[in-house]
Amino acid sequence: MYIYRKAKMSDTQAMASMINHYAEMGLMLPRTLPTLYQRLRDYTVIEEKGEIIAVGGLHILWYDLAEICSLAVRPDKVDKGLGLGLVEHLIVECRKMEIAKVFTLTYQPVFFEKCGFKRIEKEQLPQKVWTECINCPKFPNCDEVALIRTTRENFHPA
């Protein structure tokens, strides 16, 4: 049985391990423990039998825009629908907060396209998105792919 819940401080070691496992493979950006501590409220985890098996962040950037970031599933739990389930959980969270659009910057665009996201040019995202990029190890040569999805069926992003 899977339990979706907000992350706690006691989860951060498992979260960092999962995220940084994929970062070492070049599949996502790394996260430090201090960053996870500071943004703990952004993160949701999936727990099974008391163990963290997936993690994903929802970072709010503007009144109508949030980012899904640091989405990772424990390697032995891949291909069980956990990533898709977590994305959908985060989209529902956006709807509850009345956030109209959610985007991601990723090295896994095909996965996010399966989740209903559409590719866009990074330049289409508001400048507010880039304020945090200065601390990224890839700055200024970002090679991630930008994708966006609306959280409401009758809303279409510009």
What ranges do the domains of the chain cover? 2-150
Confidence of residue 126 (pLDDT cuts 50, 70, 90): confident
Q: What is the mean pLDDT of residues 95-106?
A: 95
Question: Which homologous superfamily does the CATH classification assign to the domain defined by 2-150?
Answer: Gcn5-related N-acetyltransferase (GNAT) (3.40.630.30)
What is the C-alpha to C-alpha distance for residues 81 and 60, in angstroms, rounded to an integer? 25
Confidence of residue 124 (pLDDT cuts 50, 70, 90): confident
Confidence check: pLDDT of 155 > 50:
no
Per-residue pLDDT, 130: 64
Average pLDDT value over all residues in the chain: 90
Per-residue pLDDT, 82: 97
Query: Could you please report the per-residue DSSP string of the chain?
Result: -EEEEE--GGGHHHHHHHHHHHHHTTSS----HHHHHHTGGGEEEEEETTEEEEEEEEEEEETTEEEEEEEEE-GGGTTSSHHHHHHHHHHHHHHHTT--EEEEEES-HHHHHHTT-EEE-GGGS-GGGGGGGGGSTTTT---PEEEEEESSTT----
Confidence of residue 153 (pLDDT cuts 50, 70, 90): low
Confidence of residue 102 (pLDDT cuts 50, 70, 90): very high
pTM metric for this prediction: 0.89
Per-residue pLDDT, 156: 47
| 26 vs 103, more confident | 103
